Amino acid sequence: MIIRRPPPRKLGLDEPIRHTESHKRPVTRRDFLAQGLAAGMGTVIAPTVFGLFANPKAAMAALSPDLEALRSTCGIEVLGAGKIPFICIDLAGGANMVGSNVLIGGAG
């Protein structure tokens, strides 16, 4: 004879799923800290706080001598106000590589 456990109780339509057998609900401050609240907040807030103390002008990098020579020959100082153009392709929505990887457009 096989002894079977009764199946778990069915949940109602709007009843939350609780994991009572594996862990309890965090209810105190110590429980929140044990669940990883401090590490999560440190991960989110630390780069922002450290960025407040950083000098933004220290992040400007110098070009290598060969690129500096190319920049001076093509007249970027006059036409582009000294800025070097670049293309940034944002693939946050997914990369459709079939036919949309062609740049289309004209001047300006």
pLDDT in tens, the chain (108 residues): 788 888 777 888 888 777 767 667 667 888 777 778 778 888 888 888 887 787 766 666 677 888 778 777 776 666 656 666 677 776 666 666 665 555 666 665
Q: How many residues does the chain have?
A: 108
Report yes or no on 99 lying in a domain.
no
CA distances from 94 to 31, 87, 103 (A): 38, 17, 17
Report yes or no on 81 lying in a domain.
no
pTM over 0.75: no
Report yes or no on 13 lying in a domain.
no
- The number of distinct structural domains making up the chain is 1
Report yes or no on 48 lying in a domain.
yes
Q: Which residues contact 26 (CB under 8 A, 6 or more apart)?
A: 32, 34, 35
Report yes or no on 104 lying in a domain.
no
Report yes or no on 106 lying in a domain.
no
Report yes or no on 51 lying in a domain.
yes
Report yes or no on 28 lying in a domain.
yes
Q: How far apart are CA 91 and CA 107, in angstroms?
A: 24
Backbone angles phi, psi at 6, to 5 degrees: -70, 145
Domain that holds residue 48: 18-56
